[in-house]
Amino acid sequence: AQSVTQPDIHITVSEGASLELRCNYSYGATPYLFWYVQSPGQGLQLLLKYFSGDTLVQGIKGFEAEFKRSQSSFNLRKPSVHWSDAAEYFCAVGVEDNFGNEKLTFGTGTRLTIIP
């Protein structure tokens, strides 16, 4: 069965500093990978996704992620964080079930705090 690990429960970064959130996955084939952000009172919002092709994926809000098959990783990066980036971030892997539905398995999330 597939699984997703986000090793960092909580990260604190100064505003304007760079950010990297770690994500490792376990899956037998090439996975479909996602990063979502969850802000209080709002639904999860898709930041970016990897299906195939270029392993460096650009997303919204200045985020990017790099798929590294050899390391089974899909780390999220941003060169300069803004106070509005404070939120919970979830990495997820998508796998098709027997009915052809793609279902998501989420990591436990990383809470990002931004300090002035």
Partner 1 sequence: GAVVSQHPSRVICKSGTSVKIECRSLDFQATTMFWYRQFPKQSLMLMATSNEGSKATYEQGVEKDKFLINHASLTLSTLTVTSAHPEDSSFYICSARDKQGRGEQFFGPGTRLTVL
Nearest to 4 by CA among 33, 44, 29, 30: 33
- State in angstroms the smallest separation of the CB of 43 from partner 1: 4
**In a 3-state reduction of DSSP, which class is residue 42?**
coil
Question: Applying CB under 8 A, what is the total number of residues that bind partner 1?
Answer: 25
User: What residues between 2 and 61 interact with partner 1 by CB under 8 A?
Assistant: 9, 32, 36, 41-46, 49
Identity of the residue, 72 or 105, whose beta carbon is nearer to partner 1 in the bound complex: 105
Does position 96 interact with partner 1 (CB under 8 A)? The reply is yes
Q: In one letter, which amino acid is 78? A: K
- State in angstroms the smallest separation of the CB of 3 from partner 1: 10
Phi-psi region of 69 (alpha: psi -120 to 50; beta: other; left: phi over 0): alpha
